[in-house]
Amino acid sequence: MISAIAPAKINLAFFAGPKRPDGYHDVVSVYQALDLFEKVSVEPASEWVVEVVGARLKESARIPSDKTNLVVKAALALASHAGISKPQAMRFVIEKQVPPAAGVAGGSADAAASLIALNKAWTLDLSREELAVVGSKVGADVPFALLGGTALGVGTGAELSVLPAFPESHVLLVFSTPGLATADVFGEFDRLQPLGDLVDAATVRERYLSDPAVIIGSNSLDSAAFSLRGDLPGIAETIPDYRAHLSGSGPTLYLLSDSRSQVENWARSFSELGLETLITKTSPAGAELEN
């Protein structure tokens, strides 16, 4: 089998405009990759098969094992881009580290890893830029999962420009159920803020370059996610003097620190509430083949 990995992410900042006529939203996002990787292995098969192992939380039951899984969608989009009318069916084995519908782009990382693996398996030799074009047709976060590091995303979030690396930090992820579908959160956002909450990309870039800490936790989707999950505001305020931030459309919350021991202490506080946590750190890495 040929294997590839791709990172999960958090949104250091996320701003969204009103719903466009095509149903999408213009966004400005500061993405940060995590040292937390999804792994996808591929091999030829008689039919399209998706197997998922290592999935976390009971939300894992929501991960599709048929052609609706993003890895198969990515494969079909890749075949179309390469002019392959009858692509070889493949077996995918996804080794998951993050739960679905969590706002940390686990599914997009799966799609990105599958594109890297299939590019090798099908001997296509496409550039990273071409794969990003394919990935943008699968999901807005897929191009960033290919790129990794720290980046500014505009448009639907798929148009990326590299930012100076965010200072290496320890990251606490706080998972909770039920998960939140991105479409549901944006629907609630449209109801609550029909005019949107978009900030100019140049302004966000300038703020980040001036002091990355200034933009951390700014998220247009806060009110929508908190409306759909009324317990989230209380969870976010668990640690005195440190408010946990929503990543993407949630419901995953995150806290950053330059101290591993501080993060471990925070994790214990959330665990006492029965919440699952994961300690990781920021990463400069993107998707790549695994030897």
% of the chain at pLDDT higher than 90 = 88
Q: What is the pLDDT of residues 13-46, one digit of tens each?
A: 999 999 999 999 999 999 999 999 999 999 999 9
- Return mean pLDDT, the chain: 94
Residue 144 has pLDDT above 70, yes or no: yes
**Confidence (pLDDT) at 61:** 59
Please pick, among 96, 110, 141, 222, the residue that the annotation labels catalytic. 141
Model confidence at 67, in pLDDT bands (50, 70, 90)? confident
Please pick, among 9, 39, 73, 96, the residue that the annotation labels catalytic. 9
Task: For residues 23 and 155, give the distance between their C-alpha atoms in angstroms, rounded to a whole number.
Answer: 13
Encoding tokens for residue 269? Answer: 């506080």
Q: Return the domain boundaries, the chain.
A: 1-291
Provide the pairing of β-strand 25-44 with 150-154.
antiparallel
- Rg of the chain, C-alpha, whole Å: 18
**Confidence (pLDDT) at 57:** 53
Q: Which has more pLDDT, 68 or 175?
A: 175
Q: Does domain 1-291 have CATH number 2.40.50.140?
A: no
Residue 285 has pLDDT above 60, yes or no: yes
Please state the rounded mean pLDDT for residues 134-140.
95
How many Cβ atoms sit within 10 Å of the Cβ of residue 271? 12
To the query of whether residue 73 is one of the catalytic residues in this protein, the response is no
Model confidence at 63, in pLDDT bands (50, 70, 90)? confident
Q: What is the pLDDT of residues 148-166, one digit of tens each?
A: 999 999 999 999 999 999 9
Task: For residues 56 and 275, give the distance between their C-alpha atoms in angstroms, rounded to a whole number.
Answer: 12
To the query of whether residue 241 is one of the catalytic residues in this protein, the response is no
**Confidence (pLDDT) at 291:** 72
Encoding tokens for residue 43? Answer: 């091999």
**Confidence (pLDDT) at 277:** 94
